[in-house]
Amino acid sequence: MAKGGYHHGNLRQALVEACLRLIAEKGPTGFTLSEAAREAGVTPAAVYRHFEGREDLIAEAARQGYEIFGDLMDHAYDKGQPSALAAFEATGRAYLAFARRFPGHYVAMFESGISIQRTPELNTAAKRAMGVLEKAAADLSEHIPADKRPPPQMFSAHIWALSHGVVELFARGSPGTKSPFPPEDLLESGIGVYLRGLGLIPPDT
């Protein structure tokens, strides 16, 4: 019996959940498709009815992760409205919250080496999720004088890079990188420095 409670007719999802557990335990390249089958409580032959190989299985885990991520980002953006600044900051925090709550999905999405171009469905989910951050950046950039305004894609990429760095270094228990500050504080202060540099937050705030 699968650890995730596999029932007949739900093999595909049982395999994805097994994949997520193995990714969290061994990393995206540390297990075989046969191990995923064993984790799901089925024979290796059964896996090939749904996935051609491990990469296809990881790609589906990534697609589902982007769907969850997109929903969280949407919720954060809406919660911050009508303030463009609050909405933008909330999407940054949502990135950190997602990485902590869904580590298997996070690794499948950002650390597995699987291209978002691998399937149309994965590409659509990824673009939708990251589009929320770009939308928040575009809203906020309207408050910057045109001659000092970075493109929204650059704006959002900077925050994505900052969020990703905090996650990788301090929020996922990487050896030798323990911070004296909570990851949330690091992210918030980093975003604050960035936004002050653009003149979006007064220097004394």
- CA 190 to the chain's CA centroid: 19
pLDDT at 175: 47
Number of domains in the chain: 2
If we measure between CA atoms, which residue out of 19, 22, 103 comes closest to residue 11? Answer: 19
The alpha carbon dihedral of 162, 168, 172, 176 has a sign of negative
Q: Of 90, 113, 93, whose CA–CA distance to 101 is shortest?
A: 93
Q: What is the pLDDT of residues 7-43, one digit of tens each?
A: 445 888 999 999 999 998 888 888 888 899 999 888 8
Q: Which pLDDT tens digit goes with each residue over 156-172?
A: 888 888 888 888 777 66
Residue 129 tokens read as 């999720």
188 is a domain residue: yes
Task: Identify the pLDDT of residue 59.
Answer: 94
The pLDDT score that the predictor gives to residue 2 is 42
- The answer to whether residue 184 scores a pLDDT higher than 90 is no
My answer on whether 100 and 171 are in the same domain is yes
pLDDT for the residue 16: 94
- pLDDT at position 178: 65
pLDDT digits (tens, 9 = 90+) for 69-126: 999 989 988 887 788 878 878 888 888 889 889 989 999 999 888 999 999 999 999 9
Range of the domain at 152: 55-197
Mean pLDDT of all residues in 161-187: 73
Least confident of 17-26, 63-72, 140-149: 140-149
CATH number of the domain residue 22 falls in:
1.10.10.60
CATH code for the domain of 129:
1.10.357.10
Are 100 and 166 contained in the same domain? Answer: yes
pLDDT of residue 152: 78
Of 28, 51, 74, the residue at which a domain comes to its end is 51
Domain end residue (candidates: 51, 67, 89): 51
Same domain (yes/no): 108, 39: no
Query: Is the same domain home to 34 and 88?
Result: no
The pLDDT of residue 122 is 94
Q: Is 60 part of a structural domain of the chain?
A: yes
35 and 78 in one domain?
A: no
Q: Is the peptide bond before 175 cis (omega within 30 degrees of 0)?
A: no
In a domain, 35, yes or no: yes
- Domain contains 183: yes
Is the peptide bond between 82 and the residue preceding it cis, with omega within 30 degrees of 0?
A: yes
The reported pTM is 0.82
Q: Does residue 202 lie within any of the structural domains?
A: no
Calculate mean pLDDT across residues 53-57.
Answer: 90
- Please report, rounded to a whole number, the percentage of residues in the chain having pLDDT higher than 90: 27
- Using the 3D structure, point to which of 10, 26, 51 is the last residue of a domain: 51
Residue 42 Cα to chain centre, angstroms: 29
Amino acid at the residue 42: V
The more confidently predicted of residues 174 and 50 is 50
Identify whether residues 110 and 183 lie together within a single domain: yes
In a domain, 205, yes or no: no
User: Is there a single domain that holds both residue 88 and residue 171?
Assistant: yes
pLDDT given for residue 173 in this prediction:
57
Cβ(157)–Cβ(131) below 8 Å:
no
